[in-house]
Amino acid sequence: MNLAVSASKITNTMIGFEHIKQISRTSPSKIVLLILDGVGGLPHPETGKTELESARKPNLNRIARDSLCGLIDPVGPGITPGSTPGHLAVFGYDPVKYNIGRGIVEALGIDLELKPDDIAARGNFCTVDDKGIIIDRRAGRLSTDKNTELCRLLNNIAIDGTEISVLPVKEHRFVLILRGEALSSELADSDPQQAGLSPKKIEALSPQAQRTAEFANEFVSQASSRLQHEPSANMVLLRGFSRRPDIPTLPEIYKLKPAAIATYPMYRGLARLVGMQVLPGGESITEQLDNLRRYYDDYDFFFIHFKSTDSRGEDGNFRAKVQAIEEIDNALPGLLSLDPDVLIVTGDHSTPATLASHGWHPVPFMLKSRWCRPDNVAEFSERACLAGGMGRFPATEIMSLAMANALKLDKFGA
């Protein structure tokens, strides 16, 4: 293996959606995009090997030998992606341009279907003292059951001119949706982001947002009344007012008929946002791959989301993350037997177990197809993929590569 590689550079050589639209075409070929969430890692201090380098993964390595390999930057060197920008980048969207608001992300995370003009905000239940000063921004991380009960209480707040929905997420977190005519998301947060201060009055950031600001402040005021006798969750904080972005969908850009097989609501929501049909997920990767087989004839692009690599990384459990990699490796024959025209395996970001959180490190990538021009990489890992034919590159280029290798792109220019 040649490790003397290259000043390979992050050249975002995208030609832009308006051009891709003109050269993309429908064909029967199948693309499978398998995202191993947070798969990239860092060396274990004792062995010097990353999670991928430590795992027994004959199937991943076999695919690597037949693939075009590389390392992706979802956002850019040094930038740690949230799950949303990480996935959007892999789906071909400039994650800086298509910056999805926190409220929308939270709504996607509970699988809400939003109308284009709905305004979503992320809410926290919090604790304030008798002077209204925040003493706990998370209300002691109240239970999700209690959260659900309180959301029911706030959900029937009525305000003339807007329809209010309050939906529980988890622990202290909820989503507020404002629906109505001519609402604006240009609102500042009420959440001061630290204890010892009062919640802020929600300010309109533009004249058109004045009315929406009044609705939001009225909501906070009524919520405060209804919660006043609660022992801990006696106030709410709101932030990240946003609306669904106007994002061109994968069917519009690539003429694809795409489907998602994901178990977590957040990723199902993201998939829906970019125009994928959300198929039944399943409780395990094996069930996900069973569903892939079941629906294989009906779509030409499949996004399969594998979560445990990220969860075990976030736990800081190196050994468990290695096992998650071995779990997906064991399941792969069920995918390989379908022999998709294009198979891509990568991640949305790194989640090194030693860091116990998302990291900024680039993520191993491989693409296998009859037309991919394999390189000399024989292992699916961070260091091995560095010597791959793609070198290090922006994740936003994955979709053009996928389309080209599926022979779904015409020539550009005469």
Which residues, numbered 342-381, are part of the site for a second copy (CB under 8 A)? 352, 354-355, 357-362, 371, 373-376
Nearer to a second copy by Cβ, of 332 and 352: the residue is 352
Please name the residue that has the structure tokens 């051009």.
19
DSSP summary character for residue 314: H
Nearest distance, CB of residue 87 and a second copy, angstroms: 10
Nearer to a second copy by Cβ, of 84 and 291: the residue is 84
Q: Does 405 bind a second copy (CB under 8 A)?
A: yes
- Contact residue for a second copy among 25, 56, 77, 294 (CB under 8 A): 77
What are the E-state strand segments in 119-234?
119-128, 134-136, 163-170, 173-179
Nearer to a second copy by Cβ, of 187 and 386: the residue is 386
Question: 258: closest CA among 266, 245, 248?
Answer: 248
Stretch (H or E) spanning 367? strand 363-369
Nearer to a second copy by Cβ, of 75 and 236: the residue is 75
- Collapsing DSSP to helix, strand or coil, 162 comes out as strand
- Contact residue for a second copy among 47, 99, 208, 228 (CB under 8 A): 99
Nearer to a second copy by Cβ, of 145 and 410: the residue is 410
Question: 154: closest CA among 230, 78, 76, 81?
Answer: 230
Q: Does 159 bind a second copy (CB under 8 A)?
A: no
Token pair recorded at residue 310:
């990220």
Q: Does 10 bind a second copy (CB under 8 A)?
A: yes
DSSP summary character for residue 246: -
Residues 328 and 370: their CA atoms lie apart, in Å, by 23
Token pair recorded at residue 391:
């070198």
Nearer to a second copy by Cβ, of 148 and 354: the residue is 354
Q: Are 238 and 176 in contact (CB under 8 A)?
A: yes
Q: Does 170 bind a second copy (CB under 8 A)?
A: no
Give the strand pairing for 173-179 and 363-369.
unpaired
Q: Does 84 bind a second copy (CB under 8 A)?
A: yes
Q: Are 388 and 68 in contact (CB under 8 A)?
A: yes
Q: Which stretch binds a second copy (CB under 8 A): 135-143, 172-180, 294-302, 395-403?
A: 395-403
DSSP summary character for residue 208: G
Residues 284 and 299: their CA atoms lie apart, in Å, by 21
Nearest distance, CB of residue 260 and a second copy, angstroms: 19
Cα 69-75-77 angle, rounded to 5 deg: 75
Range 101-120, binding a second copy (CB under 8 A): 102, 105-106
Q: Which stretch binds a second copy (CB under 8 A): 150-158, 161-169, 277-285, 394-402?
A: 394-402
Binding map of a second copy across residues 17-56, x = CB under 8 A, - = no contact? xxx---x------------------xx------x------
Q: Does 194 bind a second copy (CB under 8 A)?
A: no
Binding map of a second copy across residues 309-328, x = CB under 8 A, - = no contact? --------------------
